[in-house]
Homo-oligomer: A and B are copies of this chain.
């Protein structure tokens, strides 16, 4: 007996690698026999909670990652373009208000996760494609408009973002990620037949596919499946 496979995807829109993981998983949920659960969390709190250091504090890693992101853009087809001051954007400005907003969108959405998917993508696009702010309410509004939300919805969501309910939800999801063993994002937890497997990063999709009994078809699985 095979029960439905569930993949929890923990992400933060401040992380470019999380964007790659997000897009790949959003593509594969139409190909693999999985339920994808979007789990917005806070990268800064995970790095701190795990007593980790961001890789960019090592200059040679920073240089490598810059090159590597451009390869990921080309290979995975995610329009990454580093902001002018990536360190400041990621580790000083951060994503607290943006991720609270994403959680609010998720909380309000019924019958699916199309809105939370679109809003997340538009926030990534701002920070990791267009070098735009994601900390101010006006920035969140602009992203939400692009994701197709109405002005009245956005007003309500901005208010909701600031409630204890939403703050606690973001904290709890972040804690859940830490409890699974996260030390960074993206992090995927695959639940298959009562077993759970945690994967970190955006470079183990092929191994993950193998572990959950699905087939890795490369970064554009829909095209690959169509041509088979």
The interface-forming segment of A64-72, A94-102, A141-149 is: A64-72
Are A61 and B71 interface neighbours, CB within 8 A? no
**Bound Cα distance from A158 to B228, whole angstroms:** 55
> Which A residues contact B (CB, under 8 angstroms)?
50-53, 58-61, 63-64, 67-68, 71-72, 75, 178, 181-183, 197-198, 200-201, 203-204, 206-207, 210-211, 218
- Copies per assembly: 2
Are B183 and A60 interface neighbours, CB within 8 A? yes
Nearest CB of chain B from residue A62's CB, rounded to whole Å: 10
Nearest CB of chain B from residue A69's CB, rounded to whole Å: 11
Residues of B within 8 A of A59 (CB): 50-51
Residues of B within 8 A of A206 (CB): 75, 206, 218
Are A52 and B63 interface neighbours, CB within 8 A? no
Which residue of B71, B198, B218 is within 8 Å of A67 (Cβ)?
B198
Of the A-B pairs whose beta carbons lie under 8 Å apart in the complex, a sample of 23, sorted by A's number, is: A50-B58, A50-B59, A50-B61, A51-B58, A51-B60, A52-B58, A52-B61, A53-B53, A53-B58, A58-B183, A60-B182, A64-B181, A64-B198, A67-B197, A67-B198, A68-B204, A71-B211, A72-B207, A75-B206, A75-B211, A203-B204, A206-B206, A206-B218
Nearest CB of chain B from residue A60's CB, rounded to whole Å: 4
**Bound Cα distance from A10 to B210, whole angstroms:** 28
**Bound Cα distance from A201 to B201, whole angstroms:** 13
